[in-house]
Amino acid sequence: MKKTLLTFLLLFTCSYYLIAQEEIDSLAIAYQQIENSMQYQTGKIEFTNENASIAIPKGYKFLDSEQTQYVLTDLWGNMRDTTVLGAILPEKLGVTNQNCWMFVISYHDIGFVKDDDANDIDYDDLLKELKKDIESENIEREKLGYGKVQLIGWASKPYYDSKAKVLHWAKEIKFGDDETNTLNYDLRVLGRKGMFNLSAVAGIDQLNEVKESIPLITKSVVYNEGSRYADFDSSTDNVAAWTIGGLVAGKLLAKTGFFAILAKFGKVIVIGLLGLLAALRKFIFGSKEQEVTKEENSISIDTSDSKETEN
């Protein structure tokens, strides 16, 4: 009876793993098909309407607007944002890779942003305000079917490069009950009539990797002559209602979909399934191995007893 039960358990477990392996193989094929469908670009990317271009740095690649929105919404679970122009990501990583991260690109013609207040902002106080704002916005997020967001703090404190006219800062964010926090590293490249937004969506453990890429990424954004920050004409150009501090806070713009907090839910399902299988294996075999050991000990004892009886 014991041997029959043991045989049944082994057959059940083997059948389970065969089915699970088929699921893993199917998912792997699906992910490979997604990756094969991506049409990556390199070289110079022209943004005609924005009167600018981005020269994709060596070691990186570009995804157009449609494909980027697919990754953000369908693969990573974000709300759709029609302002997205594309994305820059490391050449060595595909969008289905567990470690994939990217700079999402958009442009907003909000006018010329004055930078007079750059050195007068208390970013610690601003962080407290941002945390309160996010807490209040969680009510609306839940209504739309999205999980709560918690702003943990600055992953990199806001800094304004007055020469390059680039503002950058990073937030550490927790989405729902996710074990791994998300990194949002924001860049604002200022121009005469607006700014390029480049928001890196990554895992918090990729902060250093993202930071290392920033000099290359920011230098790659070039406004055409006449649209540069230095080309501002106070007699004809509109001045934005936003200052440097306002861009970091981004309160009003956030309500219209700009500067959205982006989640990186792109943890490959195959990896997650493998983790589940490992846990199930421990659960199934952990308990069964103990039973088998007990049974073997019992059989061993029975055998020794029978020998003693014979003697």
Q: Is 147 helix (H, G, I), strand (E, B) or coil?
A: coil
d(CA 310, CA 162): 95
Least Cα distance to 244 among 137, 296, 167, 151 occurs for 167
In this predicted structure, what is the pLDDT of residue 259?
45
Q: Is 132 helix (H, G, I), strand (E, B) or coil?
A: helix
In this predicted structure, what is the pLDDT of residue 52?
97
Between 82 and 39, residue with greater pLDDT:
39
Q: What angle do CA 221, 224, 228 make, to 5 degrees?
A: 80
State how far the alpha carbon of 169 is from the alpha carbons of 4, 118, 153, 188, in Å: 64, 13, 11, 9
Q: How far is CA 79 from the centre of its chain?
A: 13
Cβ count within 10 A of residue 134:
18
Q: Which of 17-21, 48-52, 168-172, 238-242 has the lowest mean pLDDT?
A: 17-21
Between 302 and 184, residue with greater pLDDT:
184
pLDDT at residue 191 greater than cutoff 70 = yes
Cβ within 8 Å of residue 32, ≥6 positions away: 96
Q: How far is CA 198 from the centre of its chain?
A: 14
Cβ count within 10 A of residue 152:
13
pLDDT tens per residue, range 240-262: 988 898 888 875 344 334 445 56
Percent helix, strand, coil in the chain (nearest 5)? 45, 25, 30
pLDDT tens per residue, range 116-138: 888 888 999 999 988 888 888 88
The single-letter code of the amino acid at 277 is L
Q: Is 238 helix (H, G, I), strand (E, B) or coil?
A: coil
**Exposed, middle or buried by CB within 10 Å (0-12, 13-18, 19+), for 203?**
buried
Topology at the third CATH level for domain 32-269: Protein Transport Mog1p; Chain A (3.40.1000)
Q: Is the pTM of this model over 0.85?
A: no
Mean pLDDT over the full length of the chain = 78
Question: Are the CB atoms for 248 and 169 separated by under 8 Å?
Answer: yes
